[in-house]
Amino acid sequence: IGRRPDALALYAAAGSIETTPMQRAWRVRAALRAQDWRAVRSAIEALPAAEREAPEWIYWLGRAHAAAGNRDQAESLYLRIAGEAHFYGMLAAEEFGQPFMPPPATAALARAKLEEAERDPSLRRALALYQLDMRTEALREWVWGVRNRDEAFRVAAAHLALRHELYDRTINTAELANPNSNFELRFLTPYRDLIEPQVRAQGLDLGWVYGIMRQESRFVIPARSSAGAQGLMQVMPDTGKWVANRIGMANYHPRLLTDPNTNVLLGTSYMRLIMEGLDDHPVLASAGYNAGP
């Protein structure tokens, strides 16, 4: 019921009946959607202690105090998570005007650990299958190879994937190793010679384009979704046609979406068109990227 306009009233009517962690979280979100800061504070403070310590609720409790004019209490909450390597740590740091500083790069990789990853039978099979363009089978082998392994092995496997330009495996394996570290492996910027000229031509922010691309395809050129979106920027055929008409591309055909240059041209052009239609609001444009024209 969290998205219903009467959600807060329904939660209030429920009184003190036992609720699940998900229901309690949605009660907070319902209050946030209504921008009822008193209800936000009440819902967070009613959470069990373990749930209340989640970074998102520490941050939003701080916002609720700030909205009530309790700046000292708000800042004490922000300080608890400011600078931590997650989204709410970044937001909390911004409350103090502090830009986010990624943690230092991962310490030098031990040669022995990299050699262990190189010798691993599952990873060796995965690399061979990728060479044969058998991506589904390769993915299964890779996932099997990094299961139940320690962080150091997974970091080594991520470096191995990067060496072979398997960017999706690099990112996912590094996140599996430690979701709050390994930034240099988790946030890659490949294909710069292809992407930067298109970004400049469209007047877009390079980091924004890379963020969309990372989320959409994990930088897999032949990526194809179950809905039919294709390529680095996961452009739908109908969206590609619409954008092509808007930018005067006369020779558009859906098969061109598999060409990285065309895919990035259409994807970045689409981002620019969305931005123009949404008053240059990057948050709305990011949400609109998947919504279609």
Express each pLDDT in 161-170 by its tens digit.
999 999 999 9
- pLDDT at residue number 130: 98
Tell me if the domain spanning 192-289 has CATH number 3.40.47.10.
no
- Separation in Å, CA 143 to CA 122, 168, 216, 255: 9, 12, 20, 30
pLDDT at 106 over 80: no
- 255-260-265-271 Cα dihedral, nearest 10 degrees: 100
The second-level CATH assignment, the architecture, of 7-94 is: Alpha Horseshoe (1.25)
DSSP 108: P
Q: Report pTM.
A: 0.82
State the sign of the Cα–Cα–Cα–Cα dihedral 268, 274, 277, 278.
negative
Q: Where are the domains of the chain?
A: 7-94, 111-185, 192-289
- pLDDT at residue number 114: 92
Q: 154 is written with which tokens?
A: 């997974």
CA nearest neighbour of 162 among 154, 171, 153:
171
How many CA atoms lie within 13 Å of 99's alpha carbon, on the beta-carbon side? 2
- pLDDT at residue number 266: 98
CA nearest neighbour of 174 among 206, 137, 142, 211:
142
pLDDT at 3 over 80: no
DSSP 97: T
- To the nearest whole number, what is the mean pLDDT of the chain? 93
pLDDT interval class at 41 (50, 70, 90): very high
- pLDDT at residue number 236: 96
CA nearest neighbour of 112 among 156, 162, 174, 163:
156
Element containing residue 13 per DSSP (H, E): helix 7-14
- 22-28-30-36 Cα dihedral, nearest 10 degrees: 170
3-state class percentages of the chain: helix first, strand second, coil last, to nearest 5: 65, 0, 35
Q: 165 is written with which tokens?
A: 């330009």
Fold of 111-185: 1.10.1240
CA nearest neighbour of 242 among 217, 212, 261, 270:
270
State the sign of the Cα–Cα–Cα–Cα dihedral 165, 171, 176, 177.
positive
Segment among 37-41, 97-101, 193-197 with least mean pLDDT? 97-101
